[in-house]
Structure 1
């Protein structure tokens, strides 16, 4: 029994490592191409690509087609998961993404990244409250250490405010509309993770591509009405006619999105949304850390402390990361 258990654990660890690097590389390239699309100035008038809803809509279409093709190839039987939860899950998923994107209109990108670094905390809290998950005490400590370490690593000191600045200096002055949107986004992330936990119950574990297909097809449904009602689809069509070379970039983005989502949903169905949120959060940390090391940039004492906390937290998570028991 011990040999079988060790073999199973080794296979599970290998799958987790593959998922980590799959998510890391797919979304690393995804981010580069997305920035290429949205930051390029097109034509003589230097127009920008600002069609967020359409961008997400066509990514969801590509993800739906990809997952449906995989399901057809696998000929997967019905998994018995609660299909009625998918439209709710897709709604919270889109809510988190749209709130996060809208927050960028009111806060800086580093602030948004810093805020989203706390994502594993609401995912864990809502998982315990809604999906009735239970974890080893060390797991809670591990998540807190990872989040605190990333926040310490990414936080940048703000410039000292002039004495004659008329704005109030109390803590509540730091919370504006952008910060509230980030809180909404984090809450939606937590709800999404909890609903995915309920879908992926211990007795009816779903197929990753079934979850991927149903989440994306419902997202397509919501976004279709959004781009029609806002009129964004018509502006997007005109932009594509003027700059058809953007289509190639969108196809590359969709391919990388399909690969990234394949690994994300594989992680969720095999290891849970919390593990997935830890991977996606630490991915940003390792990207920045790698950049610091490669280009020999100096690290402050706070960043060194943050790095140590992240690695200790990851070590604790790898040892005590399994769920204890699910309540009935």
Structure 2
């Protein structure tokens, strides 16, 4: 009898320490993604929004993605060499397809900015966990309890309510269509985000892949796709001329690569430990927490709608953390 009690106590302690270590991992991943991409956003804005010379602008987005991917591939390869990990058995075709859908989603959302406002783009991308979840079910045959859908919808609804601002009356543009090019591109971007998550889930479940193997292979393939793009468009030649004129941009590109690599490190660790759905919840709520921090730090006014949205996000995250521990297969 005493042995049983002792055994049950040990088992309880093991489960508790495992949950605590999982919670700690979850917190470290979120904090890493939050801080790295906050700095990444600042550097990216200084590159893209800055004016060079009289009126020159940096418009080489594909090249920027290409450099980021090279940087990420180098960092992940160095970590793999240092850790002396086992070989990755994942078929290359899965990484090739996954990196293509990832790049296409990124480019579609960037290109959508030509047709929709930045808040609209952020709003559109804030529903990302929904397609990631749905395509995870379709592509990777994931099974989630109904409560999981409810928590994710609570978080997404909260973020949407928090981000949504009524467009100014003076700036109403009547396109005559129900859905414009920008909205269509955002929809395409979300579908490809979902496909990326679905394939990553399949890789994770089937091949038990480690974070840095996935990070390296995804970025190597992304380099290949991006290099085809910059060669076809001829962007690489105009970028070379631009960098000769304004060499100080090179330091910013290096800083962007560094902050992006740190962020990706935590993204792929999140995918390895918790899956693409948790990762998409992190990247979605990251923008929400960035705005919330600026409201708290700079004392900006917060609307009742934003308060309600905030409450929904925290409720969703709290319930997910409390009851989402029950393993979904």
TM-score, normalised to structure 2, is: 0.93
Q: State the match for 2:233 in structure 1.
A: 230
Give the conservation status (yes or no) of the 8 Å contact 1:133–1:323.
Answer: no
1:51-200 equivalences in 2 (<5 Å) = 51-160=60-169, 167=174, 173=178, 175-200=179-204
Distance in 2 (CA, whole Å) between partners of 1:69 and 1:305 is 45
Inter-CA distance 250–84: structure 2 relative to 1 (3 Å threshold): same
Equivalent residue for 1:317, pick from 306, 315, 320: 320
Distance in 1 (CA, whole Å) between partners of 2:170 and 2:246 is 44
Report the secondary structure of 1:84's partner residue.
Answer: helix
Give the conservation status (yes or no) of the 8 Å contact 1:51–1:236.
Answer: yes
Q: Does 1:48 align with 2:51?
A: no
Report the secondary structure of 1:308's partner residue.
Answer: helix
Equivalent residue for 2:308, pick from 305, 308, 324: 305
Q: Deviations over 1:77-114 (max 9, x none)?
A: 02433433100000000010000000001111000000
Q: Deviations over 1:3-35 (max 9, x none)?
A: 222211111111111110000000000000000
Report the secondary structure of 2:56's partner residue.
Answer: coil
Distance in 2 (CA, whole Å) between partners of 1:134 and 1:323 is 12
Distance in 2 (CA, whole Å) between partners of 1:16 and 1:289 is 20
Inter-CA distance 48–116: structure 2 relative to 1 (3 Å threshold): same
Inter-CA distance 125–247: structure 2 relative to 1 (3 Å threshold): same
Report the structure, 1 or 2, having the larger helix content: 2
Distance in 1 (CA, whole Å) between partners of 2:181 and 2:130 is 21
- Alpha-carbon deviation of 1:168? 7.4
Aligned length: 319
Distance in 1 (CA, whole Å) between partners of 2:32 and 2:173 is 49
Distance in 1 (CA, whole Å) between partners of 2:308 and 2:328 is 33
Equivalent residue for 1:27, pick from 37, 48, 52: 37
- Alpha-carbon deviation of 1:325? 4.5
